[in-house]
Amino acid sequence: MSDVTTVPPDVDAGVVSGVDYELADEVRADTSARAMTVTELAARLRRPKGSVAYHVKVLVDAGLLQVVRTQKVRAIDERYYGRTARTIVFEHPSDEIPFLNDVLAEADLQLPDEVAAGGFTYRHARIPRERVEEYVQRLFEITLEFIAEPREGDIEYGLYVGMFPTNRRIGPVDSDNPQLDAVTS
């Protein structure tokens, strides 16, 4: 499995006609930890095997899943499906923040602090493009560490990260104190 696969917007499994985006996303997520058969996926997701099989086929055709091994079970070759990459990057229109609607739909902000943990922050800094690329790489590494965690606990958590240019007006850097610009943002 490679580290990153980039998928053009017209191949996104969520927009293919007849595909349940939530189910396709669950299949992609569940196959990130280990390869699974359609039967295993259907049981884990509590969905009909035929529906899961259809979505797996669509994901294979889209290049997001692949058969990673087969095993004979009662004279039938059972296929184990895995992701084509640990990280699948979906290209998106330049005027759209990727996955934001998914995050807003899934975030359960009503759970009390004594039941669930979480946190948010939002910061600004004026930095060179090269540093942005370094931060983005580190953020992707954190997401890979996050999805590699053992599946435990009774709450599923989401991790949403992003770095982007803003349209905020900025003044000149204070040549006497260049750190002041970053601190006041």
Provide the pLDDT for residue 15: 46
Alpha-carbon span 127 to 73, nearest angstrom: 57
Provide the pLDDT for residue 99: 78
Which amino acid belongs to residue 87?
T
Provide the pLDDT for residue 31: 81
Provide the pLDDT for residue 38: 94
Cβ of 56: how many Cβ atoms within 10 Å? 24
- All domains in the chain, ordered by first residue: 1-91 (1.10.10.10), 94-185 (no CATH)
Provide the pLDDT for residue 77: 86
Provide the pLDDT for residue 13: 43
Provide the pLDDT for residue 1: 55
Angle at 141 between CA 137 and CA 36, to 5 degrees: 130
If you count DSSP H runs as helices and E runs as strands, how many of each does the chain have, helices first?
A: 6, 4
Provide the pLDDT for residue 177: 65
Alpha-carbon span 130 to 77, nearest angstrom: 49
Supply the mean pLDDT for the chain. 81
Q: By percentage, how much of the chain surpasses pLDDT 90?
A: 31
Provide the pLDDT for residue 74: 82
Cβ of 88: how many Cβ atoms within 10 Å? 20
**pLDDT tens figures, 75-123:** 888 999 988 876 666 667 777 787 788 788 889 989 988 999 999 999 9
Provide the pLDDT for residue 16: 54
* DSSP code of residue 109: T
Provide the pLDDT for residue 135: 95
Consecutive 10-residue averages of pLDDT for the chain (185 residues):
59 55 78 87 92 89 86 86 74 76 86 90 93 93 84 88 89 66 50
Alpha-carbon span 77 to 82, nearest angstrom: 16
